[in-house]
Amino acid sequence: GEQVEQRPPHLSVREGDSAVITCTYTDPNSYYFFWYKQEPGASLQLLMKVFSSTEINEGQGFTVLLNKKDKRLSLNLTAAHPGDSAAYFCAVVTGNYKYVFGAGTRLKVIA
Amino acid sequence: DAGVTQTPRHEVAEKGQTIILKCEPVSGHNDLFWYRQTKIQGLELLSYFRSKSLMEDGGAFKDRFKAEMLNSSFSTLKIQPTEPKDSAVYLCASSLLGGADEQYFGPGTRLTVL
């Protein structure tokens, strides 16, 4: 079945620095991709939805890149601030509509 | 619209007890998921329903975990009997179109088994 590897498991950056989280997947038929954010003590909330035809998505303070050739999805927080401290999860939807989550990245932004 | 609601928010059980967790999905959503979240294992799928039909029951969790969807707006997760290793946060999520759509997560139930 689909394998999703998320790196790094923990990440600590200073305020204003960038932070990059990467997920690699195995199923070449995967075509929907999601990033979720989980703040301490809270549940998961959608950060960004990425379709197979989209390579770059930009949100408020972050960029999502999808490289289908390398089967890699990345989340780049361009100028991290303490409010970005949270756990981030990627999710990959496989060709048979199965949702597979990465193991998560715990990001800490130091002021 | 109301989001996904879960009750109780916290549950403390003695080893061997039976506990039932409840979930109400977003109105109109067809898919419902139960997950267990721990720091070590991350998010583990327990059950997946589509239009009230059980699509996936999370293999390793079959023996003591049973999820049911009595109607389109209510689901339960029963753990019987509980063990200390079941201590975790249990998340319920729903989505409109399954794989093509985002999952909306509830606030979770934090279970502690003594």
Mean pLDDT of A45-55: 77
Total CB pairs under 8 A between chain A and B: 39
Measured between alpha carbons, how far is A108 from B111 in angstroms, rounded to an integer? 26
For chain A positions 76-95, those within 8 Å of chain B (CB to CB) are: 89, 91, 93-94
pLDDT at A87 over 60: yes
Model confidence band, residue A49 (pLDDT cutoffs 50, 70, 90): confident
B85, B86, B88, B91: CA torsion to nearest 10:
150
What's the average model confidence in pLDDT over B70-80? 94
- Which DSSP category does B103 fall into? P
Confidence of residue A96 (pLDDT cuts 50, 70, 90): confident
With 80 as the cut, is the pLDDT of residue A46 above it?
A: yes
> Which residue of A lies nearest to B44 if distances are taken between CA atoms?
A101
Q: Residue A34 is nearest to which of B43, B91, B102, comparing CB atoms?
A: B102
